[in-house]
Amino acid sequence: MTDESDKSEKHDAADLQYRGQLLASHEKLCFEFDRKLTWLSSGAIVVSLLFVEKVVGEGECREPWMLGSAWLFFCAVLVIALINNHVSITAYTSRYRDHIDGKESGTPVRHTVMRILNILNIILLCLGLLALTGFCLINQINRGKNHGKRTESTHGTGTRTETRTETRTETRSGD
């Protein structure tokens, strides 16, 4: 009978060790997930701010609401990632206190909240990327249509400035 109890204790110790490894892996993956979401959202905002002039060009900016929506989606991802980190830290602290006190850890509600926030972040990131891509495509198409057209503007000074993009045309004379 002692052999069975020794095997049972070894199995329980191995099970606890395995559960600890799984928990550590899960926490590392959650940290990496939040870090990558933050990096992607921040990067998308910065890149779109830097290159908006190159996308629009000298023509009229078309569908600016798409760019604004993309920025709002990316900012929402950043805010939700911060909230998710706070919930995660609170859950960890609660679980640690419960472990010290010898209580059963009761955090399934927090896990559900974190899962919902992660899914919401993925959706918002995708919507932001779609809005930014749509804005870029529409303005690049508009930029191509305006190529070769004459544009006039006052640049807020009252004097007219005329810009013309030249297109090459060949004509034959003397036929």
Residue with tokens 């890149």: 47
Is pLDDT of 124 > 90?
yes
Q: Kindly report the number of other CB atoms within 10 A of residue 119's CB atom.
A: 10
**Confidence class for position 166, pLDDT limits 50, 70, 90:** very low
In this prediction, residue 175 carries a pLDDT of 45
**Confidence class for position 6, pLDDT limits 50, 70, 90:** low
Question: What percent of the chain has a predicted confidence (pLDDT) above 90?
Answer: 19
Relative to beta strand 161-164, strand 150-153 is: antiparallel
The average pLDDT across 57-79 equals 89
| pLDDT 10s digits, 139-160 | 888 877 766 554 455 455 555 4
Q: Kindly report the number of other CB atoms within 10 A of residue 35's CB atom.
A: 12
Furthest-apart CA pair in the chain: how many Å?
A: 114
Residue with tokens 């990496």: 32
In this prediction, residue 115 carries a pLDDT of 85
| pLDDT 10s digits, 26-66 | 777 777 888 888 888 888 888 888 888 888 777 788 888 99
pTM here? Answer: 0.65
**Confidence class for position 87, pLDDT limits 50, 70, 90:** confident
**Any idea where the domains of the chain sit in the sequence?**
11-164
**Confidence class for position 173, pLDDT limits 50, 70, 90:** low
